[in-house]
Amino acid sequence: MNESMNESMNESMSESMNESMNESMSESMNESMNESMSERMHERRINEDGRRTVDIRRRNYEEVRRTNELLKSNKQWKKWGNYHNKKGKKKFQVNNEKIK
């Protein structure tokens, strides 16, 4: 768990460092740096294949959990909306029956 958190922190730090360096350097330097970084990332994926897949699965799990929570909250609102709509319809039907 700690290793995956450290890796994600390192990746985010490296990305922020890359962005700041990209702003300061020229485009040709950026291209060469990006190529070398992508090569390093590729090597890391090959070397730590098992851990990489676990990290990716963990990330996917967290994304799925977040989306499920959002869907649940939407379902709650839909339930409340249906409840109020039904309540309104019942009142409306009662009023119609009284008019008849």
pLDDT, position 18? 56
Q: How many CB atoms lie within 10 A of CB 8?
A: 13
2-24 and 49-99 helices, crossing angle to 10°: 90
The residues near 55 (Cβ < 8 Å, ≥ 6 apart) are: 4, 7, 8
The residues near 54 (Cβ < 8 Å, ≥ 6 apart) are: 4
pLDDT tens, 61-99?
777 777 777 777 666 655 555 555 555 555 545 555 554
pLDDT tens, 15-60?
665 555 555 555 656 566 655 555 555 555 555 555 555 555 666 7
User: Which residue range forms the structural domain that includes residue 22?
Assistant: 1-99
Q: Quote the number of domains for the chain.
A: 1
Q: How far is CA 16 from CA 12, 19, 56, in A?
A: 6, 5, 20
Q: φ, ψ for residue 61 (rounded to 5)?
A: -60, -45
